[in-house]
A and B are shown apart, each in its own frame.
Chain A
Amino acid sequence: EVQLVQSGAEVKKPGESLKISCKGSGYRFTTSWIGWARQMPGKGLEWMGIIYPGDSDTRYSPSFQGQVTISADKSISTAYLQWTSLQASDTAIYYCARRKPVPGGADYYMDLWGKGTTVTVS
């Protein structure tokens, strides 16, 4: 089954570090971009950034540049989103999503999503 499985909910204190994960299965992970989106409580989705696991080419939304780090370990088909010092304002649900792969490249939409990881900072 083609799917993205995200790590479980986290409860952290301000100032702590965190790394959440998104594991792809059922498809060629290395040739499909993986993006991350945030949904703060009662708010909409916000685009954070995207990574190409094949070579770790990473692009960030200007709003999140320097605030988080997106990485990937292609050997275990897993992408990551990490913080070095969490703040209460990082409390949100974080979704990973696959950019639709097409032969020789990628399309311009996300065709597969994870169920989200809830991060609570308090």
Chain B
Amino acid sequence: QSALTQPASVSESPGQSITISCAGTSSDVGDYNYVSWYQHHPGNAPKLMIYDVSKRPSGVSTRFSGSKSGNTASLTISGLQAEDEADYYCCSYAGSSTWVFGGGTKLTVL
């Protein structure tokens, strides 16, 4: 199992939109509609933002959305706010009760 591939960092101005990609393989992202995204502020517990590719848990802002095409999943954050600045991780089910994470993307809101 190799880690999913995410950009190391992205940055954008408040109010703008940004998309973070998550590239996997046909054994994980491409094989299952079980991609989840987590927001992580260092020192805190990671927070679930998206599950099953595009579903939002109760309480998560509608500014967060997810999608998938082939072996690549994406997280889009619209109307960026300062509080969105964090590390974001994608995660995919890979079969047999195993999962694989992406390397993480540091989002900077300029």
Contacts and interface: CB of A to CB of B under 8 A. Distances in A.
A114 interface: yes
Interface string A91-121: 0000101001000000111110111100000
B69 interface: no
Interface residues of A, number: 26
Contacts, number: 75
Given A33-B97, A50-B97, A61-B98, A113 B51 contact: no
Contact of A45 (B32, B93, B104): B104
Interface size grouping (class) on chain B: 20 to 34
B97 A111 contact: no
Interface of A is mostly: strand
A73 interface: no
A46 B97 contact: no
Given A44-B104, A61-B1, A111 B98 contact: no
Interface in A23-65: 33, 35, 37, 43-47, 50, 59, 61-63
Q: Count chain B CB atoms within 10 A of each CB in A62, A107, A109, A114 and give the residue with the most.
A: A109
A100 B44 CA distance: 19
Interface of B: 1, 3, 6, 32, 34, 36, 38, 40, 43-48, 51-52, 57, 87, 89, 91, 93, 96-104
Interface of A: 4, 33, 35, 37, 43-47, 50, 59, 61-63, 95, 97, 100, 107-111, 113-116
25 contacts: A37-B101, A43-B103, A44-B6, A44-B87, A44-B102, A45-B38, A45-B40, A45-B89, A45-B101, A46-B101, A47-B91, A47-B99, A47-B100, A50-B97, A62-B1, A97-B46, A100-B51, A108-B51, A109-B93, A110-B91, A111-B51, A113-B46, A115-B44, A115-B45, A116-B45
